[in-house]
């Protein structure tokens, strides 16, 4: 019997994957149709975003975590064989072992995911969190963004993260009103929707101030700033923070 082809091809790249333990004449692949379906679905929908935090539960032999290594995934598994397979397949493909974090079911994934973030951006809708995250991700920073909505309780983890990692994105009411009205027009909706209403905007900005006050992190006014300008302010802050820690 011929040796089974061990190369998995996906939109995220081609990788050589082996099952564990290794056998001389392997008859089963280290990934399955479900892995291929998930990877195809993510690629078709342009996911994950550069700022995404990714948790994979029970990744058999690394078919998902190896392919998605650029997104620094956390894998939860209690299988010793899976842990060994992921480690070996990362090594086989020349990928740094710390590109994937493996934990067991007794560990809290939130605490691990939060520790992996270099920068946490916090702000109301339309304060450029996503494009900023993408820009900073291209600079090799791991970025999370947290949208603030008064009707939704923010994740409790943001109060436990090192405030030095957090940056609040502030915007004045007139600027936010203008941006949101333009967004509604682009979507073919009336610009009189509550989303762009003065009262709704003020409630969100007040809520932002309340949350940021509890976190105690620095705030950047993005009202009149381009993405690159805001990113440079953030990077300057991050670099100073690292210098202070050293």
> What HEC string does 109-124 produce?
HHHHHHHHCCEEEEEC
pLDDT per position as a tens digit, 23-43: 888 888 999 999 999 999 999
Please state the pTM of the whole predicted model. 0.58
- Quickly state the pLDDT bin for 93 (edges 50, 70, 90): very high
pLDDT in tens, 208-236: 999 999 999 999 999 999 999 999 999 99
- Give the whole-angstrom CA distance, residue 175 versus residue 126: 10
Average pLDDT over residues 114-138: 84
Per-residue pLDDT at 246 exceeds 80: no
pLDDT of residue 1: 44
Determine contact, residues 122/168, Cβ cutoff 8 Å: yes
CB atoms within 10 A of CB 82: 19
Task: In whole angstroms, give the CA distance from residue 83 to residue 80.
Answer: 5
């Amino acid at each position: 019997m011929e040796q089974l082809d061990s190369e998995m091809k996906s939109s995220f790249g081609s990788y050589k994957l082996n099952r564990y333990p290794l056998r001389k004449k392997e008859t089963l692949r280290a990934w399955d149709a479900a892995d291929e379906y998930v990877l195809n679905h993510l690629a078709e929908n342009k996911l994950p975003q550069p700022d995404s935090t990714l948790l994979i539960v029970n990744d058999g032999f690394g078919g998902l975590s190896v392919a998605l290594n650029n997104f620094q995934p956390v894998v939860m598994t209690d299988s010793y064989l899976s842990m060994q397979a992921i480690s070996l397949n990362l090594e086989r493909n020349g990928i740094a072992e710390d590109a994937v974090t493996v934990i067991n079911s007794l560990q809290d994934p939130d605490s691990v995911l939060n520790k992996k973030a270099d920068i946490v951006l916090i702000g109301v809708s339309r304060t450029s969190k996503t494009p900023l995250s993408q820009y900073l991700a291209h600079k090799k920073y791991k970025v999370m963004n947290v949208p603030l909505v008064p009707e939704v309780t923010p994740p409790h983890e943001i109060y436990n993260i090192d405030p030095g990692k957090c940056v609040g994105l502030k915007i004045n009411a007139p600027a936010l009103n203008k941006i949101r009205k333009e967004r509604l027009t682009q979507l073919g909706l009336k610009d009189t929707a509550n989303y762009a209403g003065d009262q709704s905007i003020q409630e969100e900005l007040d809520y932002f101030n309340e949350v940021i006050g509890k976190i105690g992190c620095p705030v950047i006014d993005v009202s009149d700033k381009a993405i690159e300008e805001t990113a440079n302010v953030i990077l300057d802050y991050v670099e100073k923070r690292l210098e202070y820690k050293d």
